[in-house]
């Protein structure tokens, strides 16, 4: 993780030296998280679980149209399932590092897409009675995903965005208690952002 953060920092500095400039700020919003559960080729029908996201971002523009946007986010992910009246929740907290390629359609509208690396902070299973069990040891520590979305930036520094994050890796350990189960994260995000520095 330290190498990834250092690489992102060096990349931003290089882009700032040769590019159009750098800006950054804070963001917060909501995750509508879900997971794809597959066992022995059969997909389980899970339900979405709402959660929060919050963190910081940096935008380093190479020219007026293209740039790179690394972020550091706390995200609440997981899913719900309701089988035979058993309403359970699976709660995962990640420290996510998206490294996105940004394209400015106009001065106010931009598209972005790129990889996201998630570092698991905690994982719990909660049954319908509210009892929880720590399942972090059954989960892999790193989640690799892809992210794509759109942002709207106002001259005041306030902005809004929507993003979809699709997990590519199985986050369940191979030797987990639920043997043979594959779990892949996904989330739809809505957020508000504010640019603190670098605004013209």
Contacts of 169 (CB under 8 A, 6+ apart): 140, 142, 143, 144, 145, 184
Asked whether the predicted pLDDT for residue 187 surpasses 90, the reply is yes
Whether the CB-CB separation of 88 and 81 falls below 8 Å is answered with yes
Q: How far are the Cα atoms of 69, 94, 151, 153, 189 from residue 161, in angstroms, in the given order?
A: 13, 20, 4, 9, 8
On the question of pLDDT at 68 being above 90, the answer is yes
Predicted pLDDT of residue 37: 87
Cβ-proximal residues to 116 (8 Å cutoff; 6+ apart), any chain: 96, 97, 98, 99, 144, 145, 146, 147, 165
- Residue 9 corresponds to which tokens in the numbers above? 């920092």
Separation of CA 11 from chain center: 20
Domain locations along the chain: 2-149+163-197
With the C-alpha atoms ordered 149, 151, 76, 12, is the resulting torsion angle positive or negative?
positive
Tell me the mean pLDDT in the region 156-182: 86
The correct CATH number of 2-149+163-197 out of 3.40.50.2300, 3.60.40.10, 3.30.750.24, 2.40.160.20 is 2.40.160.20
Taking 90 as the threshold, does the pLDDT of residue 74 lie above it?
yes
Compare 137 and 21 and report the one with higher pLDDT.
Answer: 137
113-130 pLDDT, tens digit each = 999 999 999 999 988 777
Each residue's pLDDT tens digit, 143-161: 999 999 999 999 999 999 9
Give per-residue pLDDT as tens, 18-62. Answer: 455 789 999 999 999 999 888 776 777 788 999 999 999 999 999
What is residue 17's predicted lDDT score, i.e. its pLDDT?
A: 47
- Better-scored residue on pLDDT, 99 or 40: 99
Give the list of residues 6+ apart from residue 181 with CB closer than 8 angstroms, or none. Answer: 37, 38, 39, 172
What is the average pLDDT score of the chain? Answer: 87
For residue 21, the tally of other CB atoms under 10 A from its CB is 13
Q: How many residues does the chain have?
A: 200
For residue 111, is pLDDT > 50? yes
């Amino acid at each position: 993780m330290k190498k990834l953060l250092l690489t992102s920092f060096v990349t931003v500095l290089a882009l700032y030296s040769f590019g159009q400039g750098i800006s950054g700020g804070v963001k917060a919003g909501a995750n509508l998280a879900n997971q794809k559960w597959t066992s022995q080729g059969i997909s389980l029908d899970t339900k979405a679980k709402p959660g929060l996201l919050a963190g910081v971002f940096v935008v380093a523009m190479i020219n007026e149209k293209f740039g790179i946007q690394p972020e550091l986010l706390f995200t609440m992910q997981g899913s719900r399932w309701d089988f035979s009246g058993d309403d359970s929740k699976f709660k995962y907290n990640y420290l996510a590092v998206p490294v996105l390629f940004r394209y400015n359609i106009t001065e106010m509208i931009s598209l972005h897409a790129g990889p996201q690396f998630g570092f698991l902070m905690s994982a719990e299973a909660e049954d319908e009675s509210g009892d929880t069990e720590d399942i972090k040891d059954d989960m892999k520590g790193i989640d690799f995903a892809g992210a794509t979305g759109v942002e709207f930036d106002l001259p005041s520094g306030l902005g809004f965005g929507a993003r979809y994050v699709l997990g590519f890796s199985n986050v369940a350990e191979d030797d987990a208690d639920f043997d043979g189960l594959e779990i892949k994260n996904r989330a739809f995000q809505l957020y508000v952002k504010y640019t603190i520095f670098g605004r013209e």
